[in-house]
Structure 1
Amino acid sequence: MEVAEADGPGVTEWVKEQLHSWGIKNLTDIQAKSLAAGVAGERSLIVSAPTSSGKTLVGEVAALCALRNGIKVLYLVSHKALADQKYSDFVRRFGEEASSPLGSVGLNTGDRAEGDVDASLLVATYEKALGLLLTGQLRPSNIAVIADELQILGDPNRGPEIETLCATLRQRGIRQFVALTATVENADDLAGWMGCGLVKSAQRDVPLHQEIWYAGKAYRTTLGHEDGSEITGVASPRQDVIEVVNQLLRLRRGPVLVFTESRREALTFANNFGQGRPRVGEGIALAQQLDLFSEPTDSSDQLRENAERRVAFHTADLSPQERQVIENGFIDGKFEVCFATTTLAAGVNFPFRSIVFPKLTYEWGDRAGSHIVRSDYRNMSGRAGRLGMHDDGFSVLLPKNQVELAHANLLIRPENDRLFSQFVNLSLRKSILGLVAAGLASSFEGLMDFFKNTLYWYQTLDTNPAKLAALGSESTAAIEWLAQYDLIAALNNSLTITPLGKAAALSGLLPTTAVQFAQILRTLAPDLAAGFEPNAQGLIYAACASDEFRSNHPSRFLPYPSQSVYESVAYWATRKLPIALDRSDLKLAQCAQALSLYIEGLAERKIAFTTKLTAGMIHRLAVDTAWVLDGIHKLSSVPELGCSQGVSNQIAMLARRVRWGAPVEALDVLRIAERHGVPGFGRQRAMGLVAQGIASLHDLLATAKDKLVHILRSDRRAQALLDAAASTVGLGPSRLATSHLAQGAGLGIERLVKNCNDTLGTEYESAICDLLRVEITWTVTVVDDGVRQNVPDLLIELGDLKILLECKTCTKSPSLIKKEEAWAVLQKAADFEPAMRRVTLGKPHFDETSKRKAAASQDITLVEHSIFMEGLLRVHSGALTPEGFLSWLGTPGVAELDRLAGAPTYVA
């Protein structure tokens, strides 16, 4: 159907013009049906169709119309890579880079946050969105939710939390819910549960031909069709993967993607296949690009060698920049063949025409001996023949025996899998804790009312109501456990959250993990305050040993080393550990040791030699472990655990070190380089700079370019890094600025807030003074009045609370306040009475070295501009007492929002 012929509620000429401006002239079957069903008119829909049928555009139309009508949009995605891609797309389509912007665009995936904290359109992963919703940072009353890849509700590990999110949205009520899902047999269950209309299509606009090659013969059926037939002159005489790929290229069915089970298989196939291919000019240009955009790794040399022959491999070991070069090569048609693990099956749109499945039975890990399941096969085979790129696509299965042949025939049949709730796989303790913390349930009856909103209840009510009674008894046991460990208070049928329970819920940790680390922090708090570094490695070990990695349904994954290393246990036997060393668990010892070496900046090759974990394993483990440490940081702010703010600062810093794989002094340069896309600059090259005494951004800008070129081995790389350091504004724009302006407007002080955000130098000091003086209960004195020299800028007094405030802004590059400036207040306040607290207010940010020193000090507080503004506006709005604000401001260390009382400005 042509766009001009489209019809349905909300399908105006303006909508059609927008579609034309996006290059859309014709609609697929599912697109036309969805428009007719009212997706552009705020109708809630479950949209179920095969891969490459155009479902994504349906969600984008819903977002377009919602933004046009002043409705905020939450766009949910299943993976961080998809979130990054959609964020970039939406900034260009709807946000600041659009020709006619419709609103601000934000991103939040847990480890990356961009844009306004209260953006008009927020792209988020499902799990992060649940956290934002439960903490009140998402307001569902006027929001349209587009849920992409909703079939992951059936995932045993991720499904339960996604179901909790959808049930919460259902209970609270939203303006529109549009779910995009691959074909499932019971999509009507999803529609009935969420109270949505159902739009289904079995039509794949790009036909997917499924072929089984076995014993020199080929059998073909097209997706969605029952019947098939044998075809001649197609199958290779042998099941050899290299021969199969060559045959597909001879048949002009390229580009070809071969899915492998492991990284090692992908590299071996790529190497063996590439040896028989000639080097070509286009491939040599790709290899040169990879040389610029990659650091030395255990696979980078082969990656470039293969690229010269238009062959690629794609595994978790690739760096983000290597992945970008490779994926852009796919999009531009520069590669003929790719050997990949399932990291490439996450829904990103690449133009492969043929997909090859060289094995149907897994050989390693927890899945060893099991067959590939139909849902995974459908997702992976759906990468073939993409809409707008090919006229058709091919999926080629290579069974090795009669058993696999029978399974292959099942995989290609037109029947679809049914989707079943996985809700009972979730820790009920975690679910109940989150509901009580969010105010969604304050009694046992309230919990049962919430459970009635779940897909589990919807699917079980008619089929097995006895299981619902069991849910009640299990909930009672969970409540008793949560009350026993002081996460909730259960009195007279009333459920209330405790401070520890609130922090545990906000952390996202399993309650068992939260309880374990609460006890560790209670016990270790004095030792951590006396000296954090000797305990840092032990916290990493404990994080890896937690239930997040080792429960029956872990949310995180400990990788399997290629071989056992008994020396790793000996390594931990000499370290301070907050838990007992498990000498029988070699995998735990090796994984934790790998991270312990990783945070020191040791090269991945050396870590792999010692611990037998590949670079990709280390990177994934680092992200997961940093997430756990971030959760522990949340817990550390609970007063009853006795952790000082300095200890909390140190835990947060440890999480950053684990995430980035570097010591503190390298973190600023690494983050700035990633934000600005400096080619081929990662942790190894950052450590190369540190080894030459170039640790901070200030050191970098003071270094001669020719020296940087020598260290970084590229003029372009050195210049890009210098440009990034010189042009950066802190570590990114303040995500709270828009919220603070809105709060200021509501209080009638928007001009004062804007002045604080916009000014620098002495004007900034004056602007902060003016905003402070809005509160009349404290006295603000200008100490540095231009007459007295070398004194702090302001004195704030309220009773016995006295704060000496030094205001620092960056007027030159790089825009990070360094240690000497951050600590100047101590020298300036040397002859003031000791009871006065010394505080440096920094705009926009302090460097990591400053924060590390402050975290270990009892003499100074560092507070960054946006956090200071948040606290001050809470005072002006009445959400926080002036005494509470000054007490928080004077607490030694780096001031943290988690320790600030009162309702946030960005939460309704």
Structure 2
Amino acid sequence: MLAATPRNWFSKPEFVGRAARFDAAQMDAGRTRQGDSPRFDVSRTRIALRFIRDTRHCEWHFLDPVSYIGCNANSGEHKKMRTSDAQGPGVDAWLLQRLHRWGIDWLTDVQQRALAAGAADGRSLVVSAPTSSGKTLVGEIAVLCALRSSVRAIYLVSHKALADQKYLDFIARFGEGAAEPIGSVGLNTGDRTEGNIDAQLMVATYEKALGLFLSGQLRPNNALVVADELQILGEPGRGPDIEALCSALRQRGIRQFVALTATVENPEDIAGWMACDLVRSTHRDVPLHQEIWYGGQAHRTKFGDDSGQDVPSGATPTNDIGAVVDHLLRLDRGPVLVFTESRREAVNFATAFGQRRPRVGVGIEMAEQLDLFSEPTESSDQLRENAERRVAFHTADLSPQERQVIEGGFTDGKFEVCFATSTLAAGVNFPFRTIVFSKLTYRWGDRAGSHIVRSDYRNMSGRAGRLGMHPDGFAVLLPQNNVELAHANKLVLPDNDRLNSQLVNLSIRKTILTLVASGLASSFAEVMTFFENTLYWYQTLNRNPTKLATLVTESRAAVDWLATNALIRNEADTLLITSLGNAAAMSGLLPATAVQLAAMLCTVGPKLAASFDEWIPGLIYAACASDEFRAERPSRFFPFPSQSNYESVTFWGAKPLPVPLDRNDLKLAQCAHAIALYAEGLADRKIAYAARVQGGTIHRLALDVAWVLDGLHKLSTTPELGCPQPVSNQIAMLARRVRWGAPPEALDVLRVAERHSVPGFGRQRAMGLVAQGIATLHDILATAKDKLVQLLRSEPRALALIDAVSSTVGLGPSRLASAHRKTGQELGIEHLVKACNDALGTEYEEAIVALLQVEAAWSVKALDDGTRPNVPDLLIVLGSQQVLLECKTCTKSPPFIKKEEAWAVMQKAADFDSAMRRVTLGKPAFDETSKNKAAASKDITLIEHSVFMEGLLRVHSGTLSAADFMTWLGSPGVAELERLGGSPTYTGK
């Protein structure tokens, strides 16, 4: 067969690294179809052939067969399989026993196929199947088998909420919560970090994983990578970063790659690009019936079928939402989920429908739970009112805890109807039997006038019918006119959308900066080699090879731009990253944003150092005015205010701004105004009144603005910009304030409350305590229980908060501890490292002295030897550099070093030479009040134990000089790892 292939098909240079698609008949006819998958049919068995070009002889050689395990929706009966009967490479008694313990007694069609293809044996797979077909278990099986073989695993997800959910699931299945733990589990979403920095299984969002990869904290070499919901590669905003990450992971040599994707027209493109076998199924083990209700008639099409039939008496006479839901409940098709376009619509529908129903006992029980787990917001009262009638709404206005209560209520069958915005479709696994689409045409925002796209419809309708709970699922479409009727008929067809690369649609500059920063490319030729490994190159070769010449031209222009703006250096055709460029790459900011913010810091840096608080609102405005929100192709988006408000422009006109005020951009002015008020801790309803931005959208916007401010902080630590450490400290503090929506004194309480899931305790209740003078963790423990009960309006809530504060250990164990232990082993000083990590009080001082004395370049003297009271603990001398070090450990709850203890070194060193630097070493951590005060000080340095250990071990490893360590240690403010030179301990093998 291969001999019949004309060589000239493949002799063109643009086909290098590309597989061509052909079947037997086409090969004999000497032709191929562009854009097809790499396979041919022989006796109805589809086998993809992988080829590689011999560049010396311009010939193509067969490498190995690639499994193409697929099925068509109408290709025959799909039989359920008992888990005990599963077969495939790596499937053994141990694996089957684990699955049985997880309660997995039956395997779905795609699970059977994935096991047969080698998911349990290290084979790289693209698993393409409909929503709710059981793809997630395939990824979990791959993780289980990897951990069993001591292979590190990285699980990538699309959203933070999914990452939180998977983290908890994996702790129960693989980690400390499992009956037989098999590996440590970590989490990193940017907003939340849990577990060791080198956990055996790391759960991360795609965007955060890219930053971890650049910083060396994500080490994919010889690891398993599971990429969940990988169809988001096709999203214009997020796709480019995700494609760059996957291409980089592939180039670094991962051991196994398992991609889980919903049905797309061309999953073979992903498989060919990532050199994976393709497991494809269009079968849903829970049948999905798609119904179009129009003009009092109903037409039903089973998912995967080309045609359907009319359903007698299946529809309501009108498409009134209340009547439709009532009819579905009478047909016993509950619980029902109605998708709405906006939060306001969801609340209004839920309220109107709920008023027609009686209060019931199970509903009153759910309302009581919501009362405990809700904060006093605009929506919380209405949420409880509806809950009493077994009706809920699910929108961005709800707190995470409120969502958990609602999600649990549906899982337990205590709710019957939910009205929700489409964001619910993003992977949340609710047990709904029926999904209703109240409209098919958007009416508001940027999408106004456009129809719901097929990929969104598939994702949302896929929520109907849950394995093990429902015999089938229903998707009900309610077109409002003949145009929508025609669109509905297209949505229910089995056709799928193509997934197309978005790599060049956002920022080639950002991609190239990422390559240079990660070390994947140090020349223009290597940049283009990387692009040849991308999905964009893979797809474009077949469709329009001439576009690749445009990519070369644009890439050269991008390299020139990056060099002109000092993000990279081009020395004799060698591309080198600058400190500023490295910070920009790790921040995830668009390069244009990084250049804007860097220029701003150079201009207003001295003013920030002189009076930072005065410029806080202006920095928020600058973050909102950046290209992240306002570029032609932005990476972030402003919500739409409920109405225009020119008072927000007046607000900004009275503030010092580091960037020009755009008086014509009302959306910018209102959104930035809302965030400025949010960071002060103002209540949502007051913000909505002042800036006309609703509560739920404020919370989401705050995360985006905090992300930009985090990027600004990274930039500020680079030597090129000359920002002093206190300014960087205060920018980092501002980012935390924006993220949590509270002033510094409330941040510790909020983080501890979230970590321990204190019911119904968020920013507004925290601000209520602050108003009563109860701001810190220590204040809470010093307050009478009865007073807390009164202020928090719930004894269980007050007791949960007291318990959380009493039992917390800092903000969790040091994520660097295991990396430090390994470094200690390599250096032969493990016992010294362990002593520093374990010791408290005077023993801690002794342990620190012993570890310091490993370095011979400096001298270490114990000043507080028991005979000289009221002096600092240690004096470290290296030439003219002298540091007075006070060691503080906390043995009480909560274990945070308070401001009085942090500042004790100033009083103890009052009569020492002013040239000596004053440093407090705190274990485990300082409270936010101490850090906030240190950020505004020029006389003291606060350094936390894990940060000090990281710096000291870099010295002992020989990657950081003792003099540079002393300079860093003595810099005023809160010591930052970003300013520390040398090689991190956590990027080793």
TM superposition score category, shorter chain reference: over 0.9
Q: What secondary structure is seen at the aligned counterpart in 2 of 1:98?
A: coil
Aligned with 1:496 (options 559, 576, 593):
576
User: What does residue 686 of structure 1 align with?
Assistant: 766
1:822-861 CA distances to partner (integer Å, 9 max, x unpaired)? Answer: 0000101111111111100001111111111111111100
2:386 to 292, 298, 306: 306
Following superposition of structure 1 onto structure 2, how do residues 237-636 of structure 1 map, counting pairs within 5 Å? 237-636=317-716
Residues 533-561 of structure 1, C-alpha deviations (whole Å, 9 max, x = no match): 00110000010010101112221111110
Counterpart position of 1:29: 109
- Aligned residue identity for 2:392: A
TM superposition shift of 1:135:
2.3
- Asked if 1:120 is matched to 2:196, the reply is no
SS in 2 for 1:489: strand
| Helix, strand or coil at the partner of 1:58 | helix
Cα distance in 2 for residues equivalent to 1:205 and 1:736: 44
Equivalent in 184, 188, 203 of residue 283 of structure 2? 203
How far apart in 2 are the matches of 1:135 and 1:760? 32
**C-alpha deviation, 1:289, in angstroms:** 0.9
**What is the alpha-carbon distance in structure 2 between the residues aligned to residue 199 and residue 503 of structure 1?**
39
**What amino acid does structure 1 have at the position aligned with 2:318?**
R
1:222 aligned onto 2:280 = no
> C-alpha displacement at 1:48, in angstroms?
0.7
CA distance in 1, matches of 2:783, 2:93: 58
- Counterpart of 1:766 in structure 2 is 846
**Which residue number corresponds to residue 800 of structure 2?**
720
Shift of 1:491: 2.4
Code of the residue aligned with 1:558 in structure 2: it is F
Which residue number corresponds to residue 6 of structure 1?
86
User: 2:960 aligned to 880, 889, 898, which one?
Assistant: 880
Determine the C-alpha separation between the residues in 2 that align with 1:23 and 1:376. 31
Residues 488-531 of structure 1, C-alpha deviation per residue, up to 9 Å, x if partnerless?
11122111111111111111111111111111111111111111
**Distance (whole Å) between structure 1 residues aligned to residue 83 and residue 340 of structure 2:** 40
Confirm or deny: 8 A CA contact 1:254 1:337 kept in the other structure. yes
* Alignment pair present for 1:96 and 2:154: no
Aligned letter for 2:394?
A: H
Q: How far does the alpha carbon of each residue in 1:412-431 deviate from its partner, in whole angstroms, 9 at most, with x for none?
A: 00111111111111201111
Q: Is 1:889 paired with 2:979?
A: no
Q: Does residue 1:153 correspond to 2:241, yes or no?
A: no
Query: Is the aligned partner of 1:54 residue 2:134?
Result: yes
Which shifted more, 486-495 or 280-289?
486-495
Gaps of at least 5 residues in structure 2 are 1-80
**What does 1:137-176 align with in structure 2 at a 5 Å threshold?**
137-176=217-256
Structure 2 residue aligned with 1:839: 919
Q: Name the structure 1 match of 2:144.
A: 64
Instruction: Give 2:834's aligned residue.
Output: 754
Structure 1 residue 721: deviation in Å? 1.0
| Aligned partner of residue 767 in structure 1, secondary structure | helix
Question: d(CA) in 1 for partners of 2:765 and 2:131?
Answer: 41
Q: Is 1:177 aligned with 2:262? A: no
1:601-636 deviation digits (Å, cap 9, x = unpaired): 110001101111110111011000000000000000
Q: Which secondary structure state, in structure 1, belongs to the residue aligned with residue 299 of structure 2?
A: strand
Question: 2:153 aligned to 73, 77, 81, which one?
Answer: 73
TM-score by length of 1: 0.99
The 2-side partners of 1:249 and 1:59 are apart by 35
The aligned residue for residue 937 of structure 2 is 857
Q: Secondary structure at the match of 1:141?
A: coil
Cα deviation code 1:766-789 (max 9, x no counterpart): 111111111111111111101110
The 2-side partners of 1:597 and 1:728 are apart by: 30
1:822 to 902, 910, 925: 902
Tell me the CA shift for residue 333 of structure 1.
Answer: 1.1
**Deviation of 1:444 (Å):** 0.8
Please tell me whether the aligned partners of residues 46 and 181 of structure 1 are also in contact (alpha carbons under 8 angstroms).
Answer: yes
Pick the aligned partner of 1:780 from 852, 860, 871.
860
Determine the structure 2 residue equivalent to 1:42.
122
The alignment partner of 2:986 has SS state of coil
Alpha-carbon distance in structure 2 between the residues aligned to 1:867 and 1:202: 51
1:906 aligns to what SS in structure 2?
helix
Please name the residue that 2:96 is paired with.
Answer: 16
Residue 789 of structure 1 aligns with an amino acid whose one-letter code is P
Q: Determine the structure 1 residue equivalent to 2:188.
A: 108
CA distance in 2 between counterparts of 1:426 and 1:905 reads 34
SS in 2 for 1:142: coil
Distance 2:574 2:479 in 1: 59
Distance 1:462 1:595 in 2: 47
Identical pairs, percent: 72
- Secondary structure (helix, strand or coil) at the match of 2:925 reads coil
Q: CA offsets per residue over residues 13-42 of structure 1, 9 Å max, x none? A: 111111111111111111111111111010
8 Å CA contact 1:444–1:493 kept in 2: the answer is yes
- Of residues 728, 743, 755, the one that matches 1:675 is 755
1:706 aligns with 2:786: yes
Aligned letter for 1:884?
Answer: D
Find the aligned partners of 1:346 and 1:547 in 2 and give their Cα distance.
26
Which SS does the other structure have where 1:563 is aligned?
A: coil
Rounded Cα–Cα distance in structure 2 between residues aligned with 1:812 and 1:371: 59
Aligned equivalents of 2:367, 2:928: Cα separation in 1? 35
CA contact (8 A) 1:633 1:648 kept: yes
**Pairing 1:810–2:890 present:** yes
Aligned-partner residue type, residue 397 of structure 1:
L
Amino acid at match of 1:310: R
Q: How far did 1:714 drift?
A: 1.1
Distance 1:226 1:278 in 2: 42
Q: Secondary structure at the match of 2:987?
A: coil
CA contact under 8 A between 1:361 and 1:404: conserved in structure 2?
yes
The alignment status of 1:801 with 2:886, answered yes or no, reads: no
The whole-number CA distance in structure 2 between the counterparts of 1:463 and 1:393 is: 38
Determine the C-alpha separation between the residues in 2 that align with 1:106 and 1:121.
6
- Larger mean CA deviation between 486-495 and 652-661 belongs to 486-495
In the alignment, which residue of structure 2 is the partner of 1:133? 213
Query: Which residue is 1:654 aligned to?
Result: 734
Whether the aligned pair in 2 keeps the contact of 1:314 and 1:343 (CA below 8 Å) is: no
Supply the AA of the counterpart residue of 1:152.
Answer: I
Equivalent position amino acid for 1:718 in 2: A
1:139 Cα deviation from its structure 2 partner:
1.8
Structure 1 residue 463: Cα displacement: 1.9
Select between 817-826 and 483-492 the one with higher mean Cα deviation.
Answer: 483-492
SS in 1 for 2:476: strand
User: Per-residue deviation at 1:389?
Assistant: 1.7
Bigger shift: residues 212-221 or 736-745? 736-745
